[in-house]
């Protein structure tokens, strides 16, 4: 991975898990600090173990940009089928982000679309990966970005849990096979299976980070 020259700007990475989003901002030149309620020994940058909503309310204004990836389990079909109860954190984190006065983005899965405001979609295939992994992004605080053109899904998707078939795209969810292939494909060599199945590929936030930097330069001009 090539790292952009540091640009002197700080990103706060909330609900950071193993750092897929963080790596993308790092590659775009930002200094990243991650916050998560659980320990994250694989997180590759500065890490603080804390409640994300409390932390952003107390310290969010100290950063130039804030990224939040609240847990997606409440919105996924599998969790609804299993009748598991998970908190809805999108509205509370949005309220906390708006109070900071900083630009921000909230990321989540497609099933969370009803909870998000005018989100845009990023797809892994657009960035050259052999998976689709759609993720939605709601922006605020004066920041918005245009996603790259979403191409048709021409490659079939191998069924969940099976090795990727020749000519197919992989489905890196659940107890998927091919951890090293997934690491290589999504460019997350430090992650284990748990991190990979929930992560944002760094290419997504590297794209966002490059647009963010241009936006912040315009504000400063």
Task: Tell whether 69 is covered by a domain.
Answer: yes
Domain of 72, CATH number, reads 3.40.50.150
Task: Tell whether 157 is covered by a domain.
Answer: no
Residue 94 sits in which domain range?
Answer: 10-148+200-220
Check whether 82 has a pLDDT greater than 70: no
Angle made by CA atoms 104, 43, 199, in degrees to the nearest 5: 60
Task: Give the count of domains, the chain.
Answer: 1
Check whether 77 has a pLDDT greater than 60: no
d(CA 221, CA 217): 6
Residue with tokens 């241009």: 214
The DSSP element (H or E) to which 157 belongs, if any, is: none
Task: Tell whether 2 is covered by a domain.
Answer: no
Among 147, 105, 98, which Cα is nearest to 13's? 105
**pLDDT attached to residue 81:** 44
Bridging pattern class, strands 104-108 and 31-36: unpaired
Average pLDDT over residues 16-23: 98
Q: Is 128 left (phi over 0), alpha (psi -120 to 50) or beta?
A: left
Task: Tell whether 191 is covered by a domain.
Answer: no
Neighbours of 147 (CB within 10 A): 15
Task: Tell whether 168 is covered by a domain.
Answer: no
Task: Tell whether 26 is covered by a domain.
Answer: yes
d(CA 45, CA 26): 9
Tens-place pLDDT, residues 33-63: 999 999 999 999 999 999 999 999 999 999 9
Q: How many CA atoms lie within 13 A of 20 on its CB side?
A: 27
Task: Tell whether 181 is covered by a domain.
Answer: no
Q: How many CA atoms lie within 13 A of 76 on its CB side?
A: 17
Task: Tell whether 64 is covered by a domain.
Answer: yes
113-127 core/surface letters (b: 16 or more CB in 10 A; e: else): eebbeebbebbbbbb
Q: Are 102 and 61 in contact (CB under 8 A)?
A: yes
Residue with tokens 């603080």: 48
Q: What is the pTM of this model?
A: 0.92
Tens-place pLDDT, residues 154-206: 999 988 778 888 899 998 988 888 899 999 999 999 999 999 999 999 999 99
């Amino acid at each position: 991975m090539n790292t952009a020259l540091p640009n002197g700007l700080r990103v706060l990475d909330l609900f950071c898990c193993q750092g897929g989003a963080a790596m993308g901002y790092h590659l775009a030149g930002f200094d990243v600090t991650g916050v998560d309620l659980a320990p994250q020994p694989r997180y590759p940058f500065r890490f603080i173990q804390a409640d994300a909503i409390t932390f952003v309310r107390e310290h969010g204004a100290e950063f130039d940009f804030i990224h939040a990836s609240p847990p997606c389990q409440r919105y996924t079909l599998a969790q609804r089928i299993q009748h598991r109860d998970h908190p809805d954190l999108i509205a509370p984190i949005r309220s906390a982000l708006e109070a900071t006065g900083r630009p921000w983005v909230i990321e989540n899965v497609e099933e969370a679309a009803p909870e998000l405001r005018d989100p845009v979609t990023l797809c892994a295939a657009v960035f050259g990966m052999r998976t689709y992994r759609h993720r939605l992004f709601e922006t605020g605080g004066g920041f918005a970005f245009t996603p790259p053109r979403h191409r048709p899904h021409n490659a079939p998707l191998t069924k969940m849990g099976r090795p990727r078939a020749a000519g197919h795209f992989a489905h890196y969810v659940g107890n998927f096979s091919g951890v090293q292939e997934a690491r290589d494909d999504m460019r997350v060599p430090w992650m284990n299976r748990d991190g990979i199945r929930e992560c944002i590929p760094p290419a997504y936030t590297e794209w966002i980070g490059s647009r963010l930097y241009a936006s912040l330069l315009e504000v400063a001009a």
